[in-house]
Amino acid sequence: MNNRQHYLKNVKRVVIKVGSSTLTYESGLLNLYMIEHLVRQISDLHNRGLEVVLVTSAAIGAGIGKLGLKKKPTNVVVSQAAAAVGQGILMNTYEKFFSEYGKTVAQILITKDDITQEERVTNAKNTFCELLERGVIPIVNENDAIIVDEIKFGDNDTLSAMVSSLIDADLLILLSDIDGLYNDNPKDNPNAVLINCVSQITDEIESCAGGAGSQLGTGGMVTKIRAAKIATSGGVPMVIAKGETPDIIRDIICFKNVGTLFLPKTQ
Is 232 annotated to bind ligand?
no
CA-to-CA distance for 237 and 239, rounded, in angstroms?
A: 7
Is 144 annotated to bind ligand?
yes
Among 90, 47, 44, 17, smallest CA distance to 239 is for 17
Is 17 annotated to bind ligand?
yes
Phi, psi of 67 (to 5 degrees): -85, -5
Interstrand relation of 171-176 and 197-198 (parallel, antiparallel or unpaired) = unpaired
Is 44 annotated to bind ligand?
no
Is 234 annotated to bind ligand?
no
Is 66 annotated to bind ligand?
no
Is 156 annotated to bind ligand?
yes
Among 235, 242, 244, smallest CA distance to 194 is for 242
- Give the end-to-end CA distance of the chain in Å, rounded to a whole number: 22
Is 176 annotated to bind ligand?
yes
Sheet of 197-198, strand order:
105-110, 137-142, 51-56, 13-18, 171-176, 238-242, 260-262, 197-198
**Measured CA distances, 53 to 56, 78, 181, 185 (Å):** 10, 29, 23, 30
Is 57 annotated to bind ligand?
yes
CA-to-CA distance for 144 and 176, rounded, in angstroms?
A: 20
List strand residue ranges (DSSP E) for 86-242, in order. Answer: 105-110, 137-142, 171-176, 197-198, 238-242
Is 3 annotated to bind ligand?
no
Is 266 annotated to bind ligand?
no
Annotated binding site for ATP: 17, 176-177, 218-224
Annotated binding site: 17, 57, 144, 156, 176-177, 218-224
Annotated binding site for substrate: 57, 144, 156
